[in-house]
Structure 1
Amino acid sequence: MPEASPSDAVVEVWRREAPLLIAALTRLTRDVALAEDLAQDAFVTALEQWPATGVPANPAAWLMTTAKRRAIDAFRRADTLRRKTAELERTAGEADPMPDLDAHVDYIEDDVLRLIFLCCHPALTPESRAALTLRMVGGLTTTEIARGFLVPDATMGQRISRAKRTLTEAGAELELPTGADRTARLDDVMAVVYLVFNEGYAATAGDDWTRPDLAAEAIRLARMLAELTPDEPEVHGLQALLELQGSRLTARTDTAGRPVLLDDQDRARWDQLLIRRGLAALGRAEAIAARGVPVGRYYLQAAIAAEHARATTPAATDWPRIARLYDVLADAAPGPVVEVNRAVAHGRAAGPDAGLAVLAALPPGALADSPLVPSVRGDLLDRAGRGDEAAEEFAEAARRTRNAGERALLEQRAASARGE
């Protein structure tokens, strides 16, 4: 296998070290936009110098030293913040401040946790939180994020710039929130990671049924969050959920990229390593919960996903247990999406009429713009032998979706229900 070039090494180091570098620089400068600029300048310098000088023994420390020196220069040119200049000068010569990612969590990695919380500040919209988290913590480029969410590069660039400006105007600092604010912000952080994963697992629009790169990035963020908050069962539940769901990604499409439903998937293609990691994370959540720490929607969804992961065939799936878990989830985190999934579970556990009864109880107009309700109703009607009604529901779902792969699948199911 050919040795990686210095340019390739810079890209790999950026992916691995950017969150640590930006977080540490944000702590030192108290300006997230400036921190990102300094980090990028350091990487540009690496791209210029490493091909000639070779990759340094400790590339992360080299980048931190370079970025700190640029920060000192920036403050000197501005002739402001003399105290910050002195602080930076005192730390510029410190030994490697960037730890190995496999090492024990220390203050630098605490900075990453602070950066995640900063990216999910309540002053930002959920969309901006997701974009900024992928940019600052995930290390993705603006182009990569824009492609993932199907918006032009310029639009995503403006969204990220506005988010950073909003943080500055709000006086947001790289500090961990406490008490109720910390709990609320942790929920926001997990919601952003989950949103990113869902967009990768089942794309809302475009030609691709899945976007594995987004799903993989969300799993990485969930692992990082679980490492940084080891006593939070819901964080382990989130990691478990994403690992278990992610294990099925490659089986969700065929060789032509067409969607494959759960019952039709080749379970030999499920990623067993991700399943083992997911079950281990679920076990950690259960161990913490056994000490009296409450769990919530991510743990419960992970428990449901674990039932699918343990089933070697569709017929072996314990649908009655899944239905019971959805009943608990409906109490813990009520909402129309949960109810639709609960309808699926009850339809499998007790027959399609039971599932249709759950759907009938949905509020009028629930998820009116989504294909979810008619597609599930169509499936239940099809299982009940009511083909013509099922075809109408599948056709309605096809009209609602913005994803080309999903539309083709729904149209195919409509034709099949009509006996075509």
Structure 2
Amino acid sequence: MLKKQLLIAALLFSPLLSLQAQEVKKLGTETAQQKEQRMAWWTHDRFGMFIHWGLYALPARHEWVKHNERLTNEQYQNYFDLFNPNQFDPKSWAKQAKAAGMKYAVLTTKHHEGFCLFDSRYTDYKAPNTPAKRDLVKEFVDAFRAEGIKVGFYYSLIDWHHPDFTIDVMHPQRPENGSDSTYARLNKGKDMNKYRQYMRNQITELLTRYGKIDILWLDFSYPGKNGKGKDDWDAVGLLKMIRKLQPSIIVDNRLNLDEYEDGADFLTPEQVKVDELAKFRGKTWETCQTFSGSWGYYRDENTWKSTHELLQLLIGSVSKGGNLILNVGPTARGVFDYRAQSALGNIGDWMKGNSESIYGCTYAPESFQVPQNTMLTYNPTTKRLYVHLLDYSTRVVLPGYKGKVKYAQFLHDNSEVKFSADGDNSLALSLPEKKPAMEIPVVEIVLK
């Protein structure tokens, strides 16, 4: 996972510098205003669910288990033969996502292992041919749409099962110290043209069989020696096809099309700390994060984040002007791990009283300093400022706020919070001795 994160970081950050020194090209004719309108729902909703689910749920030791343990297709076949999610209930998934306050959901239709959760006509390596015996993507789409949650698909550009996908530095059968001649020998007879067509065919299926698809998450490029980048995917042609099939779809930035102004709709900082997100201010982005250290179900992984840490990720993302997509890795039986269910429930309890500080919000205007031990979000439509109390205290100083505040209240119950002058230019909030029954209380500031 670390290797992938380093590669993604390089892809994310280097274009921000290089694009300043070169002329920006465009693939289409959409204006900045048209893009803003197309993405308005996404930038408003702020919070989504990622679902990483595939054959790797059976070994239950990381979604990159095939890569990490250098497993062959033959060794991995056992998971395909035994894949039987007999407790899969996407309606339950959707209800949990909705209760947590998530407004959109993205499912891995195919991860790097090459296994398809949908009924593709171009492969036998798919859920209908396992004991599952059905199109799991269709059931996901129907269930989440029924709850009013927008639907997105993740599709891996990488495929460690397809016979024509060439072996590279990420492949499970990569050589230990591969020379160019070694890679050439391993890839004799493989034809990436055939794989590219396979990929186009499958993405066409996904974008034509299931109605309107709101988001497409393509993952991921790693250009360089014995890697793969835009030319390996025919990324320009692929993105043009996607836009033609689904004109209003929102597409991530992992096609390696950074030299094009419209080569992506949003940046994707992965598993980064909240403080690192400040560098994306003014850009359109979504940070993808996990409850623990893995995306797929990992039975013995125990670095699960606390409710406080998860809420800080959500609030912090919005306070820096971006979205959070939080990942769940269902078990091989098709249910959310009990720890994920608990975390989703706790987030939902907080969102019931405080979602106004998330939806439609962004970073606060620069004229408002961030009080100590807090995070600020701001709704530019209602002109409300939200002070999130990360470390509860009975007195919170608002530096430089004097003359700007009309009224203050706890958001979860609209109970008044008194404030008074503190020095020449600041205000102080007077909070009750007993902390409200909220993991992170929020004070709503009504501005003058």
Instruction: Give the structure-2-normalised TM-score.
Output: 0.24
Asked which structure has the greater RCO (Cα within 8 Å, sep 6+), the reply is 2
Higher strand share: 2
Point out the structure with the larger helix share.
Answer: 1
